[in-house]
Amino acid sequence: MAVINKIMDIVAPPIALISLFFFLPPFCLYKFTQYILSSLFPENMTNKVVLITGASSGLGEVSLSPLDTHTHTHKQMFRILIANEMFYIQHLAYEYAKREAILVLVARRIKSLNEVAMRCREIGSPSVLVVPADVSKPDDCKRFIDATIGNFGRLDHLVNNAGIESICLVEEITNMTNLKALMDVNFWGSVYPTYYAIPHLKESRGRIVVMSSMAGYTFVPRMAFYSASKGALISFYDTLRMEFGSEIAITIIAPGVIESEMAKGKVFTPQGKMEVDQELRDAMLGLVPVQPVKDFAKIVVNRVCAGARYIIEPKWWYGVYFHRVFLPEIVDYWQRKLYSLSPQAPATISLTKKMLEYLPVKSLLYTHSMQSPEIKRE
């Protein structure tokens, strides 16, 4: 066995390079042709049933145990941020509504869902079902899948969108079990609905749409647990894609930084209070340009209906990904420099934030809604 592995170590790399040389050019041509044809003839969503899950930011909706804060300042404490809130779910729903799809909207906040549902009906959706539920609970997931089939008899697109985000250094955490809530929502909150939807999606030869993150491919300090949860999603659905073959299509979306409640600086503290901390937001985002959520949703739904397997948006994040793959040591070095990593350094102080303050570009990089001090705290 050892001899075989040694032979493979010598033989496999050159064979792999030779195969890439011969097969990559025709494959790229095939993918380009497929992209053009799918863009010209996208999936017709008229009267197809689309279920979209989404996180909500109501007080008390994430169950966390109190942290020991005696050894850390308020600015250094672990935070849970609601990453998508109603931003993604409403704009994704609007784009599907314009295509006259039947919608099932799932989140915790019934009032916000009803407002989105009313708007969806106005712009083209023939029917909208609102189901308040918690995606981290298997019974809730089974209930809203059953409600979808009970009302409409089919399911064509399952859009797993719910997610929360953490910002902290690992060594700042005093109780590791507090991070279970993040994995429950970000990973299991997509797996549970998928599990119950599989037979219905097979019947319709439908599609699963997964909202991962560039944090699942590239890595940002203070986001280890968030990156782990999003990386787990990518691995799970890539494996599932092989299991399903052509029976169920899968699209994995990896957003960069998109306009959202998180991008506005809203934080959910371990004490159960919603706070707006734009100093922390600036320290984490720095000079990274933020994409308006309307633009993001339109591009994403267009590409989903065109049958995309992967979507990275904005596209310039491909450059970040390739640097991470080919120049990991250099990327690691600059990440540490930009984020001033140290347990003793407050999270709100970083080199990238100082650069943002020194250069007069904030109005160009951040959306208008992100710069407003009037951020809703409920």
The answer to whether residue 97 is domain-embedded is: yes
Helix (H, G, I), strand (E, B) or coil at 226: helix
Q: What is the pLDDT, as a whole number, of residue 298?
A: 95
Which one-letter amino acid corresponds to residue 359?
A: L
Q: What is the pLDDT, as a whole number, of residue 372?
A: 67
Which has the closest alpha carbon to 197: 146, 260, 255?
A: 146
Burial class of residue 98, CB neighbours in 10 A (0-12, 13-18, 19+): middle
Which has the closest alpha carbon to 91: 269, 276, 265, 313?
A: 313
Which has the closest alpha carbon to 190: 160, 163, 226, 165?
A: 160
Q: What is the pLDDT, as a whole number, of residue 56?
A: 45
Tokens of 91: 């704009």
The answer to whether residue 35 is domain-embedded is: no
Which one-letter amino acid corresponds to residue 207?
A: R
Which has the closest alpha carbon to 303: 338, 360, 266, 252?
A: 252
The answer to whether residue 162 is domain-embedded is: yes
Q: What is the pLDDT, as a whole number, of residue 67?
A: 39
The domain that holds 100 is classified in CATH as 3.40.50.720
Are 125 and 97 spatial neighbours (Cβ–Cβ below 8 Å)? yes
Q: What is the pLDDT, as a whole number, of residue 259?
A: 85
The answer to whether residue 68 is domain-embedded is: no
The answer to whether residue 261 is domain-embedded is: yes
Q: What is the pLDDT, as a whole number, of residue 81?
A: 46
Give the containing element (helix H, strand E) for 141: helix 138-152
The answer to whether residue 2 is domain-embedded is: no
| End-to-end Cα spacing for the chain | 62
Q: One of 192, 226, 237, 366 is an active-site residue; which one?
A: 226
The CA-atom distances, in angstroms, between 318 and each of 2, 24, 136, 254 are 38, 19, 31, 10
**Whether 226 is catalytic:** yes
Note the pLDDT tens digit of each residue in 183-238: 898 999 999 999 999 999 999 999 999 999 999 999 888 888 889 999 999 999 99
Q: Tell me the residue range of the domain where 241 lies.
A: 42-57+85-371
Which has the closest alpha carbon to 365: 250, 249, 282, 265?
A: 282
Domain total of the chain: 1
Q: What is the pLDDT, as a whole number, of residue 305?
A: 96
Give the containing element (helix H, strand E) for 310: strand 310-313
The answer to whether residue 34 is domain-embedded is: no
Print pLDDT tens along the chain (378 aa): 888 888 898 989 999 999 988 899 999 999 899 989 998 999 999 999 999 998 443 322 333 333 344 444 444 444 444 444 456 678 999 999 999 999 999 988 888 889 999 999 999 999 999 999 999 999 999 999 999 999 999 999 999 988 777 777 788 777 788 788 888 989 999 999 999 999 999 999 999 999 999 999 998 888 888 899 999 999 999 999 999 999 999 999 999 988 877 677 765 444 445 567 788 788 888 889 999 989 999 999 999 999 999 999 999 999 999 999 999 999 988 888 888 766 566 777 888 888 888 888 888 888 877 776 555 544
Q: How far is CA 261 from the centre of its chain?
A: 13
Q: What is the pLDDT, as a whole number, of residue 267?
A: 57
Are 362 and 356 spatial neighbours (Cβ–Cβ below 8 Å)? yes
Cβ neighbours around 360 below 10 Å, total: 8
Per the DSSP assignment, residues forming a β-bridge with 157 are 50, 207
The answer to whether residue 92 is domain-embedded is: yes
